[in-house]
Structures are given as C-alpha cells and as structure tokens.
Amino acid sequence: MTGSNPRAPMHQPDGRSLSQRRAPKGLVTVTGGAGFLGSHLVERLLQSGCSVHVVDDLSSGSLENLDAVRGDPRLSITVGSVAEPAIAARAADAAMVFHLAGMVGVQRLAQRPLDVMRGNLLCTEAMLDAAARSGAPILIASSSEVYGDARAPFDETDPVQPGSTDNLRGGYACAKAMGEWLAHAHARQGTLRVVVARLFNVVGPRQSGAYGMVLPRFVAQAREGNPITVFGDGTQTRCFAAADEVALALCDLLATPDAIGGTFNVGSDREVRVLELAHLVKRIARSSSEVTLIPHDRVFPKGFVDPQRRVPRLDRLRACIGWAPSRPIEAIVEELCAAPQSAAVQRALAARALS
Ligand SMILES: NC(=O)c1ccc[n+]([C@@H]2O[C@H](COP(=O)([O-])OP(=O)(O)OC[C@H]3O[C@@H](n4cnc5c(N)ncnc54)[C@H](O)[C@@H]3O)[C@@H](O)[C@H]2O)c1
C-alpha cells in the first residue's frame, strides 16, 4: 500500500450520520437503483425511513440486487430507460432524485464505445431536464474519469482532461463531464438544485467484474483458482471505498443545503498498487492462483490510456459533510471474499466469458 491519510470519523460528534439527522422525507427516486451502487443506496434510504422509487432499464443491473428489500412495501420499481423523457419525468416526480443510471466499465467502453458515450450523456441530460421541470433536487453520479491522466491527487477545481479524441476512454469522461456542465448550466439558467458526486473506485458485494472492475475480477479469479490477471506492470494505483459508506455520503450530500450547486470527490484517498491488491486478494482468499502480468496492449485497444494514479482530495467533502471512508482495503477484501457470489454477478461473468 502506498501513502496514507488520517482517517476522519465517518459519523458526526453526536454519533449519528448526517443522513440519520436529515433523513430524506417522502418519495426518493434512485435511477440505476438495480445496479451495484444503486442497490446499496436503496437499502440505505429505506433504512433511513423514506419510500424509494427505483427506475432502471436492467441493462447491467438486476432485480436480484434488490433481493434484500424487494418485500418492502415502500419500494416501487419502474423498468425502463431514463433516456426516454416520459420515464425521466416519472422518475423526477419525487422529493429528491439520485441519478446513478449509466453504463460503466472500461471493458464495456472498449467494446461498445458509442453505446457507453451516448447512454451516459442522454440519460443524464433527460434526468436533468426532468428534475428542472419537477423542481426535485438531484444528485448526479459523475466519475473520477473526468480527471483523465491529470496529476494526482485530484482537486475538484482541477481542469477536466478527457484527452485526445483518438483515445476512446476519454469519451466516457467527456460524457460524464458534459453531464456536470449541463447540471451547472441548469442551476445557473434556472433554479435546479443539483449536486455532482465524482465517484472514485467504489467496491462491495454485488459488484460485477465482468466489465473491467478490477477488484471483483480479482476476487472471482482467486475463487475459481484461475490466474489473477494484472494489466500492465501493476505499479498503477487505485483507491477503493466501500459501497455502503459511499451510499451514506451520497445521502448526506443531497440532504445538506451547503452542498447544493457543488461538485465533490467521493471515495477513498488511500492508494493501493494494483499488483499489491492482487496479492492481497490471493492471500485473503487463500487462493492457489498465480498472479500474472498481462501487457496493456493485449487487453485494451490502441491509444487506450490507463492512468497511473487516481487519487482524490477529499477536503471539500470532509468540510461539507464530515465524511471520510473508514474501512481499509484489507477489511473490504475480506468482506468480498466472504460474501457469496450473487447469481447476477455469476451470469454477468459467464456472459462475458462467452463474448
Ligand atoms: N462503481 C464505481 O466505482 C463508479 C465509479 C465512478 C462512477 N460511477 C458511477 O456511478 C453510477 C453507478 O455505477 P455502478 O457501479 O453501480 O454501475 P452499475 O452498472 O452496477 O449500475 C448502473 C445501473 O444503471 C442502469 N442503467 C443504465 N442505463 C440506464 C438507463 N438509460 N435508464 C435506466 N437505467 C439505466 C443499469 O441497468 C444499472 O442497474 C454510474 O453512473 C457510474 O458512472 C461508479
């Protein structure tokens, strides 16, 4: 592991998180709520006492991700794409909206760049238009990808750097960045109350490794006794935060008046070298798998840049909601190795193996 930062307490001095003290009231919409992070957010919102409307086209998500809460009468689900204005309008008819719907994963971007770029841009544009009309405050999930290969650690005031248009990876970054610009433009030109959350690597149970997410892929490979494949030389670093903690931060952000209109890095700032992560997974999973290096150009298309470091500055987030991730990567990996692999994740991995 490289670098370390002081762990700030995740909870406020009175022992309760902001979201417990300012629990959202009424109906809350989560777009992409059947996805990995969305399903953790749905669980969190239901725990805090509100009703939740999930809107998801199930393109990568699954209703099985909501198994733990499917019987809750406060949960309603609409299956459809929020890129369609009528569905976006129904989604925005709520006390507040978390817009997490999107197409993620570097491998999916490498294989279906047009779908990924269009999908992310169109659904964010439609949800912002709909929230502007309904008056619901909205949080949109952006990505650390907007920083491109800028020098880490990344500050929210840094320029976005999607890079050359020859590098398709920048297309996802650009779609996310354009979503942010549209959000701020809505706020400036109208009255939209919007928060932008730039998420760094979020990990936890129910995440699929099928689309290029490194940690669930390592865990699946270790479990199956297959080689744990590290792309490049493994010296690149990433920072991982637990999904349930990130869900709490998203709730707190949208419930905090000072956060409205702001852009926030959300994630962990503790760097881990990817090669070390592979060995950590192997050790914790007690796996006999070998750790293998795969040259970058055998995995990604030409010109597809993989940033060496991706580290957020979290000062703004800490100052606004007093949040910082508390769980170290070792505990996260232990939890992942102990959790049964969900049927949805198994199917996604099997489909990927066949493609
Ligand atoms: N997980 C991370 O590390 C990470 C990092 C950066 C940004 N993000 C952002 O967070 C959000 C959630 O990511 P995730 O990891 O949970 O991914 P995910 O693929 O598990 O979830 C995305 C969900 O959105 C749904 N969806 C896609 N297009 C849709 C559409 N047009 N209409 C309705 N539903 C649609 C999918 O079916 C899926 O359930 C995404 O916007 C992603 O860009 C995640």
The pLDDT score that the predictor gives to residue 26 is: 86
The pLDDT score that the predictor gives to residue 355 is: 40
Cα Rg of the chain (Å, integer): 19
Spatial distance between the Cα atoms of 238 and 231, rounded to a whole number of angstroms: 13
The pLDDT score that the predictor gives to residue 260 is: 97
Segments making up each domain of the chain, as ranges: 18-201+242-269+308-325
The pLDDT score that the predictor gives to residue 351 is: 56
Atom 32, ligand 1: residue with shortest CA distance: 81
Q: Does domain 18-201+242-269+308-325 bear CATH number 3.40.50.720?
A: yes
Atom 1, ligand 1: residue with shortest CA distance: 202
Ligand 1 centroid–CA 322 distance in Å is 25
Mind giving me the DSSP string for 271-295?
EEEHHHHHHHHHHHTT--PPEEEE-
Q: Which of 29, 31, 60, 138 maximizes ligand 1 atoms within 8 Å of its Cβ, making it the mutation to test the pocket?
A: 60
pLDDT tier at 4 (50, 70, 90 boundaries)?
very low
Cβ-proximal residues to 339 (8 Å cutoff; 6+ apart), any chain: 205
The pLDDT score that the predictor gives to residue 354 is: 40
Question: Beta strand 27-31 with 51-56: parallel, antiparallel or unpaired?
Answer: parallel
pLDDT above 90 (res 35): yes
- Per-residue pLDDT, averaged over 27-40, amounts to 98
> Is 198 in contact with 144 (CB distance < 8 Å)?
yes
Atom 11, ligand 1: residue with shortest CA distance: 100
- Per-residue pLDDT, averaged over 265-274, amounts to 97
- Per-residue pLDDT, averaged over 310-337, amounts to 95
pLDDT above 90 (res 49): yes
The pLDDT score that the predictor gives to residue 346 is: 59
The pLDDT score that the predictor gives to residue 8 is: 36
Atom 18, ligand 1: residue with shortest CA distance: 35
DSSP state of 241: E
With residues binned 3-state (H G I as helix, E B as strand, rest as coil), the percentages for the chain, rounded to 5, are 40, 15, 40
Question: Over pLDDT 90: what percentage of the chain?
Answer: 77
pLDDT tier at 127 (50, 70, 90 boundaries)?
very high
Ligand 1 centroid–CA 243 distance in Å is 13
204-263 pLDDT, tens per residue?
Answer: 999 987 777 899 999 999 999 999 999 999 999 999 999 999 999 999 999 999 999 999
- Identify the CA nearest to 269 among candidates 318, 192, 213, 325: 325
With 0-12 CB in 10 A as exposed, 13-18 as middle and 19+ as buried, what is 260? Answer: middle
pLDDT tier at 111 (50, 70, 90 boundaries)?
confident
The pLDDT score that the predictor gives to residue 102 is: 96
pLDDT above 50 (res 12): no
Atom 44, ligand 1: residue with shortest CA distance: 199
| Atom number of ligand 1 nearest to Cα 60 | 37
Instruction: Could you list the beta-strand ranges (E) of the chain.
Output: 27-31, 51-56, 75-79, 96-99, 138-143, 194-199, 202-203, 228-231, 237-239, 241-242, 263-266, 271-273, 291-294
Ligand 1 centroid–CA 212 distance in Å is 13
Within 6 A (CB) of ligand 1 lie 31-32, 34-38, 55-61, 81-83, 100-104, 119, 123, 141, 143, 199, 201-202
> Is 245 in contact with 202 (CB distance < 8 Å)?
no
The pLDDT score that the predictor gives to residue 3 is: 34
Ligand 1 centroid–CA 142 distance in Å is 10
Spatial distance between the Cα atoms of 354 and 61, rounded to a whole number of angstroms: 19
134-154 pLDDT, tens per residue?
Answer: 999 999 999 999 999 889 999
Ligand 1 centroid–CA 33 distance in Å is 8
pLDDT above 90 (res 162): no
Ligand 1 centroid–CA 102 distance in Å is 4
pLDDT above 60 (res 10): no
The pLDDT score that the predictor gives to residue 348 is: 58
The pLDDT score that the predictor gives to residue 15 is: 42
Ligand 1 centroid–CA 117 distance in Å is 13
- Identify the CA nearest to 308 among candidates 151, 167, 163: 151
Mean pLDDT of the chain: 89
pLDDT tier at 9 (50, 70, 90 boundaries)?
very low
Atom 7, ligand 1: residue with shortest CA distance: 143
Tokens of 320: 């606004």
Helix residue ranges per DSSP H, 50-151 = 85-92, 106-111, 113-134
pLDDT above 50 (res 273): yes
58-110 pLDDT, tens per residue?
Answer: 999 999 999 999 999 999 999 999 999 999 999 999 999 999 999 988 778 88
Ligand 1 centroid–CA 103 distance in Å is 5
